[in-house]
Chains A and B, each alone.
Chain A
Amino acid sequence: MGNIPARMEFLQGTLDVLILRTLVAGPSHGHAIAKHIQRTSEEALQVETGSLYPALHRLELKGWIAASWDLSEKGKRARYYKLTANGRKQLAAEQSKWEAFSRAMTLVLNPSEQEG
């Protein structure tokens, strides 16, 4: 995957799934979420602040994540987001959609693999 460009365009709705998936591990604040996505995607996915916070607030409005103020590891006040039950359901639905999609993509792009 070495020839993948450093920054990838997000597909519509991708960021929402990534945020929800990230929060499965436990409550987190905006910066940590962005860093986590960057790290786990091996720096392939750069989350822009300009889309991260609108996305977080949109998810909160939909009731998939809930926000509360808490202290960070360094003792600063930070806005922590955690997954709600609805959010978990939404993630499950989105995840299976993505898996089906990515499986289909793989089948089309690498037909030999299936034959072999």
Chain B
Amino acid sequence: MSFWRKVSWAARRRSKEDDLAEELRFHLEEEAEGREEDGLTADQARWAARRELGNLASVHETTRAAWGWTVVEQLAQDVRYGARNLRCNPAFTLMAALSLALGIGANTAIYSYMDALLMRQLPVPDPKSLVVLKWHLSGQKNRRDSVVHDVSGFFYNDPKLGKTTAIFPYPAYELLRKSNDVLSVLFAYHPSEKLNFLAQGQAEVVGGEYISGDYFRGVTIAPLAGRLVAPDDDRVGAPAVAVLSYAFAQRRFGDAARAVGQMVQINNMPFMAIGVTPPGFFGVDPARVPEIYLPMQAETLLAPEWKVKADPNKRYLDEHYYWAEMMGRLRPGVTMAQAQAVLGGTFETWVATTATKDSERQNLPEFVLQSGASGLDNLRRAYSEPVYVLLAMVGLILAIACANIANLLLARATARRREIAVRLSMGAGRWRVVRQLLTESVMLASIGGLAGILLAIWGVQALKALLATSDDPFPLSVDLNWHVLAAAIALTMLTGLIFGLAPALRATQIDVMPVLKEARTGEGSTGPRRFGLSQALVAAQIGISLLLLVAAGLFVRTLSNLRSIEMGFRHENLLVFNVNARQAGHHDPEILSFYGGLEERFRSIPGVTGATVTNSPLIGEGAFGWPIVPAGKPKPADAPSGHGSGMGATTTHVLVTGTGFFNVMSIPVLAGREFDSRDRLGSAPVAIVNQAWLKVNLDGVNPVGQRILSLGPGEKKMEFEIVGVVRNARYDEVKGDFPAVVYLPYEQNLSVPAEEMTYLLRTAGDPLRHAAEVRAIVREADSRIPVTSLTTQAAQIEQGMNEQILFARLCTGFALLALAIACVGLYGTMSYTVARRTGEIGIRLALGAQRDAVVWMVLRDALWLAVGGLAISVPASMAASRLVESYLYGVKANDAISVAGAAGVLITAALIASYVPARRASRIDPMRSLRHE
């Protein structure tokens, strides 16, 4: 193996050299002896031998070349030389490596998120054959005029398809499952509401997924322990079973395998845990990671009894009730188009038969088949746009970093023209010199790349912490994306090569003599041209920084606008948490007194000055709403009913509240009275309205004593008497106009049945100090009930601004980063200019120029660069800011204050960055600088 010989020779290079020297010495002696024998004198013989051998050094050289490690040796030389060079210029090295690291790190971190969010496939076998079934209504048609009479699930607006959804009636699922030859399996699922999970005496609230019997056959995963739900488990009367996710089983039972066979209580019903899913599996929707999987039939056991009693078979038989979501697996060889044609034909024929009116017949759902390789796209839809915005920002940072590297290397290569000329004149080959410079660029890029990797690792962790809300951690596992890391490093290396090499190549072409004659700091013939490019680069950096600074300004102003929104109630020192007694087995009417008892006990906690109860948190979890109109007025044409978020400000929001609610929340009662002990079960129904509701419904009338008609869920009509008017307060949305709200007394129990209730505790000090007492009181009252969503009202409001907070923070960070890198570039350029002009400045000073004038001269140059950059980027930022308009609140996209502020910050930073070189220029000793020439 000649390779190993080569390596071992390389290892004992020193002794090989000695060997060769001795070998050649022996050769000369032999030769000389031979010539002596031929009759020459000893001296003549030695000289003849020497002559015959030729250039001894060259023989050494060519023989060494035969050893085969010249390249390695030269590389080692280059690396040593490069390292020495980088060490000698620590400022240059630090700046270059830092800007590289920041550019690479930020891009890799953000792109890793994008990859996890937008591109990753489900961790199941052959994800490409999975398909998601959806339908849409074409055009601007309304769901209310369609065959869809009732839903559990949501619609979204697809830019191409219009109103789109993935929910179907159960009969459609059964039909498609039985009559298709394009799918090998079709399975259905439906997310559960929050479930009360009780095991080993500990209760908590978990997220669940109701699944059809062949769900696990469809996703094709094997259980980690026990068995998974099979078709037999999803039948009426089958034993109640549950499958746990790996993470949940691990957390609750210490060991996933130990969970199998455990009896647990879900919503107070006994279930057996039969198995655990494998660790990587998270269901089919990356946005919603269930803790437990239950057969669909179990939903009948777990739904609140008042819902089931209303119509037990609605779920499975109603052709107009849309709720089941479906995924399937294509049979081998079947294309999406074929499957779309077959499934679409079957569904659309069937759905036409369910239409009961002409309006429904003209507005039939149209079937769409989409790829399910990455699971459902809910998370992608929510996050893709913000992620693209962030990606654009870090892309700009990378651009600035590259410009910086280019600039630094340009300045350096020019400064080293003399050194290169010396080396060329000493006989160094051109390629050899270029290779040396190349090595240095690559070394620099490697240092930056390495630091970039560390930064990216840290960045991924930091982003994870930023993205997590207090309740849910970020649902996806995010790994460092090595492709992006490699791409970013390659890009910066390329920049380094182009800008390090181009001047170097030019330098090696030069006629060495003029350069050698040049004074050390003199201006080279290519000087002015280089300075032009460098100026352009710095101006570009300043321009890009402005873009990021403007974005930061916009987002910071948005956030501050959001934070100063008038809430209508006092949100400081307010503890909020949910309790669901119904899931733990409490029923009407006992549940009312149970909740009332809890309220009394909370009120008696020392440090709690007030406590009240509502049927929904005010912020962050949507609102109840149905039409409520003055008695005798017609029902509004398009008024939503039910529970949701984002209802219009004029539609009536309904909040069921306990006594003392307005007092605890500090919402002023403007007329009449607030609910009190008179408003109890069986007393005359009363209501309190707010100003916004009055404005829409009873403007200009004295409202107290007026009768109003509530058209509650299920068209339940009921009359209430207005007993009070309160000032506007937020409910559901933080932004926009105040909603029209009607408050109903919880004690009368006349609207939606009491289920999960929200308690609001006004505290004297930090609300979270009372968390433990609250939990203890609930546990004492009924250990099967967990306290959930415990937080402060202030934190809950902040959480609604998560996206804006994230954008403001990240953007400010990015802008500072960009500013720092640009300042480094400016500082480098100005330092170089000053160094180049040492002689000139010396002469100026010698001729009597004031030192202040010299400082100003340098600063003026920097200022021109900054102004040049701004001239281009101010209009650009005005245009670009429109792209983020949808994320802004209370600020126009081309906000003058943000732009002016950003420009001010940039100019200040530019002056500071160039002040140090300017000061250095003013300190030049004229005598020394002139002697230096």
Q: Which residues of A contact B (CB under 8 A)?
A: 29-32, 35, 48-51, 53-55, 57-58, 60-63, 72, 74, 76-79
A-B contacts, 8 of them at CB < 8 A, read A31-B30, A49-B53, A50-B54, A54-B66, A61-B6, A62-B2, A77-B22, A79-B26
**Interface size of B in residues (CB-CB distance below 8 Å):** 29
| A51–B5 alpha-carbon span in the complex (Å) | 21
**For chain B residues 40-96, which have a beta carbon within 8 Å of chain A?**
52-55, 58-59, 62-63, 65-68
Query: B22 touching A50 by the CB < 8 A rule?
Result: no
What's the least CB distance linking A25 to chain B, in Å? 18
Residues of B within 8 A of A50 (CB): 53-55, 58-59, 62
Inside 8 A of A53's CB, which chain B residues have their CB?
20, 23-24, 27, 59, 62-63, 66
Beta-carbon nearest neighbor of A58 in chain B: B66
The residue on A at minimum CB distance from B16 is A57
Chain A, residue nearest B52 (CB): A49
Which has the most chain A C-beta neighbours within 10 Å: B24, B54, B59? B59
B1 contacts across to A, CB distance below 8 A:
63
Looking at the complex, which one of B5, B22, B33, B63 makes contact with A54 (CB distance below 8 Å)? B63
If A50-B55, A50-B58, A54-B66 are given as contacts, then 8 extra A-B residue pairs at C-beta distance below 8 Å, sorted by A number, are A31-B30, A49-B53, A49-B59, A53-B23, A53-B62, A61-B67, A63-B1, A63-B5
Would you call B26 and A31 a contact (CB within 8 A)? Answer: yes
Question: When the two chains form their complex, are residues B2 and A61 in contact, meaning their CB atoms are under 8 A apart?
Answer: yes
B63 lies within 8 A of A57 (CB):
yes
Residue from B19, B65, B66 having most chain A Cβ neighbours under 10 A: B66
B62 CB contact (under 8 Å) in A29, A32, A54, A76: A54
Residues in A whose Cβ lies below 8 Å from that of B24: 49, 53
Task: Tell whether B29 is near chain A: CB-to-CB under 8 Å.
Answer: yes
Q: Which residues of A contact B30 (CB under 8 A)?
A: 29, 31-32, 72
Which residues from chain B contact A58 at a C-beta distance below 8 Å? Answer: 66
Q: Which of B112-161 contact A (CB under 8 A)?
A: none
Distance in angstroms from B818 CB to nearest chain A CB is 54
Complex alpha-carbon distance, A37 and B470, angstroms:
88
Nearest CB of chain A from residue B398's CB, rounded to whole Å: 46
**What's the least CB distance linking B6 to chain A, in Å?**
6
Chain B contacts to A: CB under 8 angstroms: 1-2, 5-6, 9, 19-20, 22-24, 26-27, 29-31, 33-34, 52-55, 58-59, 62-63, 65-68
Q: What residues on A are CB-neighbors of B52 within 8 Å?
A: 49
Contact of B26 among A51, A63, A76 (CB under 8 A): A76
Q: Is the CB of B2 within 8 A of A79?
A: no
A79 / chain B contacts, CB cutoff of 8 Å: 19, 22-23, 26
Write out the residue numbers on chain B whose beta carbons fall within 8 Å of the beta carbon of A78: 23, 26
CB within 8 Å for A49 and B27 given contacts A58-B66, A79-B22: yes
Q: Among A32, A35, A48, A76, point to the contact of B29 (Cβ < 8 A).
A: A76
Pairwise interchain contact A31-B63, C-beta atoms closer than 8 A? no
Q: Taking the nearest CB of chain A, how far is it from the CB of B10, in angstroms?
A: 11
Interchain CA distance A57-B70 in the complex, whole Å: 14
Cβ-closest 5 pairs across A and B: A31-B30, A54-B66, A57-B66, A58-B66, A49-B53
Contacts of A77 in B (CB 8 A): 22, 26
Q: List residues of chain A with CB within 8 A of the CB of B6.
A: 61
Question: Which of B34, B63, B67 has a CB less than 8 Å from the CB of A35?
Answer: B34
Q: Using Cβ atoms and an 8 Å threshold, which residues of chain B touch A30? A: 23, 26-27
CB-CB nearest in chain B for A63: B2
Q: What is the bound-complex CA distance between A57 and B19, given in angstroms?
A: 11
CB distance from A80 to the nearest CB of B (A): 10
CB of B454, distance to nearest CB on chain A (Å): 42
Say whether B5 contacts A49, CB under 8 Å. Answer: no
- A75 → B minimal CB distance (Å): 12
Task: Give B184 Cβ to nearest chain A Cβ, in Å.
Answer: 60
Residues of A within 8 A of B59 (CB): 49-50, 53-54
